[in-house]
């Protein structure tokens, strides 16, 4: 971590995004009081993060990156264990609510070790919520989870947000970052951008021309060598950051002069992924 400073508003979805090794997990573990910072201060729910860690832990929930529940206990037994850990005495009604909320009621007698990746994350979330935390910290909860389970998990988080729970979540997926109220973009332990998704995208002040050609890598190199446009390679397509539609004929002429066939093209708004790659290139 290096001189990171930001504010998280109550009842918002605050996202920490960045590639592997950016420092997302370290930052979340610091905010949960699991790692002490070398310097600086932090305040969480009115408590000092350095000197009042015990009081903070009673008010937050933490879902770690790795599945850390007990594989040889059932769903019911795992939730009961975490209820006892947090001193929740009359937990059965709350457990039933959480099982219904996470769509796990009919699986409650299943061993945790036998669950799919998506169901394990739902169980972990139920355990995280058993003591009704005011803030939940989720460290890349959808990494390695299938697309259907990811979508279902986000529906659950959306309902939590509507109930007034503050959610702090890290993810490497830029498409998920569109759901956040505020984004902290990180790289190499540094905070490189902190704003709403709309404000971050507006700051690039470009339009994206997406193209597909018969020679993608040659096209990418050609644009880099012969123009001042920034281009980004995504699978079978190239995103080119242009100023406006007047720049489109420039790209078309360049391809024609180099006998590269333009198979498809379209204009689209700047995405968070475009912005993130742009910022990394500038750095």
The owner of tokens 């009842």 is 11
Rounded to whole angstroms, the Cα distance separating 81 from 76 reads: 9
The owner of tokens 């355990």 is 127
Rounded to whole angstroms, the Cα distance separating 213 from 19 reads: 28
Confidence of residue 1 (pLDDT cuts 50, 70, 90): low
The owner of tokens 């592997």 is 20
Confidence of residue 175 (pLDDT cuts 50, 70, 90): confident
Residue 21 within a domain: yes
Are 258 and 176 found together in one domain?
no
Q: Give how far Cα 64 sits from Cα of 143, 166, 235, Å.
A: 11, 17, 31
Residue 66: give its domain's CATH number: 3.40.50.300
Are 144 and 176 found together in one domain?
yes
Are 37 and 165 found together in one domain?
yes
Q: Which of 153, 174, 196 is the last residue of a domain?
A: 196
First-to-last CA distance in the chain? 17
Q: Which of 148, 181, 196 is the last residue of a domain?
A: 196
Residue 184 within a domain: yes
Instruction: Kindly state the average pLDDT of the residues 243-247.
Output: 94
Average pLDDT, the chain: 92
- List the one residue out of 251, 245, 249 whose CA is nearest residue 231: 251
Of 104-108, 110-114, 154-158, which gets the smallest average pLDDT? 154-158
Residue 155 within a domain: yes
Are 87 and 126 found together in one domain?
yes
Task: State the pTM of this model.
Answer: 0.89
Are 148 and 42 found together in one domain?
yes
Residue 4 within a domain: no
Are 190 and 238 found together in one domain?
no
Rounded to whole angstroms, the Cα distance separating 104 from 76 reads: 10
Rounded to whole angstroms, the Cα distance separating 7 from 2 reads: 16
pLDDT at 54: 85
Residue 271: give its domain's CATH number: 3.30.70.980
Question: Strand 47-48 and strand 166-171: pairing?
Answer: unpaired
Query: Into how many domains does the chain fold?
Result: 2
Q: Which of 196, 225, 252 is the last residue of a domain?
A: 196
Residue 38 within a domain: yes
Q: Give how far Cα 163 sits from Cα of 62, 140, 167, 268, Å.
A: 18, 22, 11, 34
- List the one residue out of 200, 206, 203, 211 whose CA is nearest residue 272: 200
Tens digits of per-residue pLDDT, 199-236? 999 999 999 999 999 999 999 999 999 999 999 999 99
Tens digits of per-residue pLDDT, 71-87? 999 999 999 999 999 99
Furthest C-alpha separation in the chain = 75
Cα pseudo-dihedral 35, 37, 40, 42, rounded to 10? -10
Whether residue 68 contacts residue 29, with contact meaning beta carbons closer than 8 Å, is answered with no
Cα atoms found within 13 Å of the Cα of residue 131, Cβ hemisphere only: 20
Structural domain harbouring 160:
13-196
Tens digits of per-residue pLDDT, 20-37? 889 999 999 999 989 888
- List the one residue out of 213, 207, 262 whose CA is nearest residue 230: 207
Are 235 and 275 found together in one domain?
yes
Report DSSP letters for 207-221, one per residue: EEEEEEESSHHHHHH
Residue 7 within a domain: no
Residue 8 within a domain: no
Are 56 and 191 found together in one domain?
yes
Are 37 and 163 found together in one domain?
yes
Q: What percent of the chain has pLDDT over 90?
A: 74
Determine phi and psi for 163, rounding to 5 degrees: -85, -5
3-state secondary structure of 133: coil
30's enclosing H/E stretch is helix 24-31
Are 83 and 182 found together in one domain?
yes
Query: Does residue 282 surpass a pLDDT of 80?
Result: no
Are 18 and 147 found together in one domain?
yes
Are 183 and 235 found together in one domain?
no
Residue 1 within a domain: no
């Amino acid at each position: 971590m290096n001189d990171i400073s930001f504010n998280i508003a109550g009842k918002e979805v605050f996202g920490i995004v960045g590639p592997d090794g950016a420092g997302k997990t370290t930052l979340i573990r610091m905010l949960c009081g699991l790692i002490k910072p070398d310097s600086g201060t932090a305040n969480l729910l009115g408590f000092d993060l350095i000197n009042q860690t015990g009081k903070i832990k009673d008010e937050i929930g933490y879902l770690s990156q790795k599945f850390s529940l007990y594989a040889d206990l059932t769903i019911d037994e795992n939730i009961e264990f975490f209820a006892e850990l947090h001193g929740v005495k009359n937990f059965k009604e709350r457990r039933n609510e959480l099982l219904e909320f996470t769509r796990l009621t009919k699986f409650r007698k299943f061993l945790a070790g036998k669950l799919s990746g998506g169901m394990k994350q739902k169980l972990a979330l139920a355990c995280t919520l058993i003591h009704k935390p005011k803030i939940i910290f989720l460290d890349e909860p959808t990494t390695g989870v299938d697309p259907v389970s990811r979508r279902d998990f986000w529906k659950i988080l959306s309902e939590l947000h509507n109930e007034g729970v503050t959610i702090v979540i890290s993810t490497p997926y830029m498409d998920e970052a569109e759901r956040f109220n505020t984004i902290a973009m990180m790289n190499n332990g540094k905070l490189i951008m902190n704003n709403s998704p709309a404000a971050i995208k507006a700051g690039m002040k470009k339009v994206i021309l997406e193209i597909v050609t018969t020679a993608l890598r040659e096209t990418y190199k050609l644009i880099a060598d012969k123009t001042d446009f920034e281009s980004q390679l995504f699978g079978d397509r190239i995103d080119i950051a242009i100023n406006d539609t007047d720049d489109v004929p420039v790209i078309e002429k360049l391809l024609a002069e180099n006998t590269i066939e333009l198979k498809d093209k379209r204009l689209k708004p700047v995405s968070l992924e475009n912005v993130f790659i742009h910022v990394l290139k500038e750095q």
